[in-house]
Amino acid sequence: MNIYSITDTAQSEWHWLKTYIERSIARNVDGYTAEDVLEAVLDGQSLFMVIEDDTGPLMVATINILPEALHVHTMTGDKMSVWLHPFQTALMQLGEVLGKSYITSISRKGMAKIMSAGGWEIKSMVMQRKVI
């Protein structure tokens, strides 16, 4: 298993990254487009974290780099049972290297339950209602 980040080469790798980002955005309503996410990476505000095995990418996440925290903005992939623990370990290591105090994420209910079992604490809730 290989875990790495993409920053400067994001534009040249966008042809395959975009599919993962669009898949993640489709599951969440936050007003961002895939191009907004790419722009944040190219501007140095975020990075893509990739986990792959010998068959190719298993997951892609977008990590926003905030003053005190890393924020998992998008995250999607296949075979979650294979990549979730290595992803969380890599996040903790990245946070430590960058001197961050926290790692945050806004998740759907099912993912929040999975993350809670892995040591994440629910600190707030995001509510949503359609405008009629």
The DSSP result for 8-66, as a single string, is TTHHHHHHHHHHHHHHHHHH--SS--HHHHHHHHHTTSEEEEEEEETTEEEEEEEEEE-
Specify the fold of 2-117: Aminopeptidase (3.40.630)
Lowest mean pLDDT among 3-7, 50-54, 106-110: 106-110
Closest CA to 84 of 114, 63, 105, 54: 114
Diameter over CA atoms, the chain: 48
Query: Hey, is 95 helix, strand or coil?
Result: helix
Mean pLDDT, residues 66-71: 94
**Could you read off the pLDDT of 46-62 as tens digits, one per residue?**
999 999 999 999 999 99
Judge contact between 73 and 107, C-beta under 8 A: no
Q: How confident is the model at residue 29 (pLDDT cuts 50, 70, 90)?
A: low
pTM for this structure?
Answer: 0.85
User: Rounded distance, CA 25 to CA 67, Å?
Assistant: 24
Location of structure tokens 């105090």:
101
The DSSP bridge pattern shows strands 2-6 and 69-77 to be: unpaired
